[in-house]
Amino acid sequence: MNNEQLYLDTLDWIHGLSRFGMKPGLERMEAMLEKLGNPHRQVNYVHIAGTNGKGSTAAILASIYTAAGYKTGLYTSPYLLSFTNRMAINGCDIDPGDLVELVRRVRPVVEEVTADDRYGQPTEFEVVTVLALTYFARQKVDLVVLEVGLGGRLDATNVVTPLLSIITNVDLEHTEVLGHTVEEVAFEKAGIIKKGTPILTASEDQKVLRVIKEKALSLDAPLYSLFSPQENSNCKINRPVFEDLIINDQGQSFAYNGLNRSYKNLITPLRGRYQIYNAVTALAAAELLEDKGLMVEEEAVRRGLAEMIWPGRLELLKNSPKLVIDGAHNPAAIKHLAEAIPEYFSFKHLILVFGIMADKDALAMMSAILPLVDRVIFTRASIPRAANPSLLLKMALVQLQFNSEKALVIEDVGAALEEALHKAGPEDLVLVTGSFYTVSDARAYWFQPVK
């Protein structure tokens, strides 16, 4: 069997695992990791939860530590182009051959735990997390920036004891799992806080902050609140923590005033005002990690910000007409996207290619973006969880009174993108959004090899 087939078979096995476990909890994770020698106890971590921005914050922080010369791991989800995007070291995805070898080592443990009635079948995300934790330990990385998959308290990543925990922000999401109020969602995300471990948050919601503060106090965890200083937190960073924002075609620049450090004219290729919040969170995290012995010089901060690559976030693929892709996948993210599009791009008409997952709040997402749109094409990402685009169309027409002559369904993402570009004039903007899976399909189609 050739190497490519081995890799494909490996992916088939991973994707063949169930999405949800029969029994909630971390017992399966702990059992698998113990049988593998507890690799998660051999590495330093930063653990990041949040409704939005956690992936970008993780990528920025990892880029800074890579620029500083540390061997830095990054674990994120979902992947954008290839499964190997999920785990990277110093900006390089895991090699497919290394993934095959990892699965060969881990699979017997998974099967052993599955056969034990105490645990039940591990989920795909649990197994992928075990693979990542094992990979980073075997590679002897200096630091892993670990993104939570869903929630925090019962998330598979919550087996680690990090140097620093981060909660970027909290909004309603996955309500069927995490709860129907922001306080309930915040409780789940605050579950990553560990005894005595510093917790940094960029949330501005006072209801959320009360939950995080209560959890931090109960565990004697120093609380650092970026945008709303809290009584009894160990530090207070008064507004503005960033200023002098300048937007240009290549990205944006800003000044940072933090705990002990200030930087002028920091440059990031990421677009969107919310990405500055993510950058500020990463910069504050880097300051806090100095207390753990992970020192970073200003040059590495600047280079890590300026050189980071994080596709699928307000990414401009074409100029005339403009083609922008963004993985906004919940109401809060779509709202930020709707605010950013007219601020960061000039255009005559906006044509939307829109595909979401079936478990998302479709009405709230469409209500945030459709008022900006001149034409919309509903589509379906190549994943079983994708929402039926015909149902999205019906919702837009009936509940939002969108013009039926300006809306249609094209199931295939690539074909939908082609139609949008065909309809667009040279001064128009085509936006693909709604899910990272939709964006992944669009990006793969756009960069497909010329035949």
Residue 365 sits in a domain of what CATH number? 3.90.190.20
Average per-residue pLDDT in the chain?
92
Tell which of 260, 276, 307 closes a domain: 307
Tokens of 152: 């925090």
Residue 283 lies in a domain: yes
Tell which of 307, 331, 347 closes a domain: 307
* Domain membership of residue 371 as a residue range: 315-446
Convert the pLDDT of each residue in 270-300 to its tens digit.
Answer: 999 999 999 999 999 999 999 999 999 999 9
Q: Are residues 282 and 419 in the same domain?
A: no
Tokens of 268: 């990031």
Residue 217 lies in a domain: yes
Q: CA 336 to CA 50: how far, in whole Å?
A: 15
Lowest-confidence region among 2-6, 176-180, 201-205, 428-432: 176-180
What is the average per-residue pLDDT within 359-373? 95
pLDDT at 451: 41
Residue 340 lies in a domain: yes
More confident residue, 65 or 227: 65
> Residue 121: pLDDT above 80?
yes
What is the average per-residue pLDDT within 416-432? 97
> Residue 218: pLDDT above 90?
yes
Convert the pLDDT of each residue in 77-106 to its tens digit.
Answer: 988 889 999 999 999 999 999 999 999 999
From 50, 139, 34, select the one nearest 93 (Cα to Cα): 139
Q: Are residues 429 and 353 in the same domain?
A: yes
Lowest-confidence region among 50-54, 94-98, 193-197, 230-234: 230-234
pTM beyond 0.85, yes or no: yes
Q: Are residues 243 and 370 in the same domain?
A: no
Q: Are residues 270 and 223 in the same domain?
A: yes
pLDDT at 239: 53
pLDDT at 175: 56
Q: Are residues 191 and 220 in the same domain?
A: yes
Band (236; pLDDT cuts 50, 70, 90)? low
State the total domains in the chain.
Answer: 2
Residue 107 lies in a domain: yes
Q: Are residues 68 and 119 in the same domain?
A: yes
pLDDT at 18: 80
Residue 61 lies in a domain: yes
Q: Are residues 379 and 349 in the same domain?
A: yes
Tell which of 267, 286, 307 closes a domain: 307
Residue 100 lies in a domain: yes
Q: Are residues 148 and 30 in the same domain?
A: yes
Residue 221 lies in a domain: yes
Band (234; pLDDT cuts 50, 70, 90)? low
From 153, 207, 150, 202, select the one nearest 183 (Cα to Cα): 207
Residue 451 lies in a domain: no
Convert the pLDDT of each residue in 123-136 to its tens digit.
Answer: 999 999 999 999 99
Q: Are residues 195 and 297 in the same domain?
A: yes
Q: CA 421 to CA 415: how far, in whole Å?
A: 10
Q: In CATH, what number is assigned to the domain containing residue 135?
A: 3.40.1190.10
Band (450; pLDDT cuts 50, 70, 90)? very low
Q: Are residues 241 and 333 in the same domain?
A: no
pLDDT at 377: 98
Q: Are residues 400 and 383 in the same domain?
A: yes
pLDDT at 151: 87
Q: Are residues 270 and 384 in the same domain?
A: no
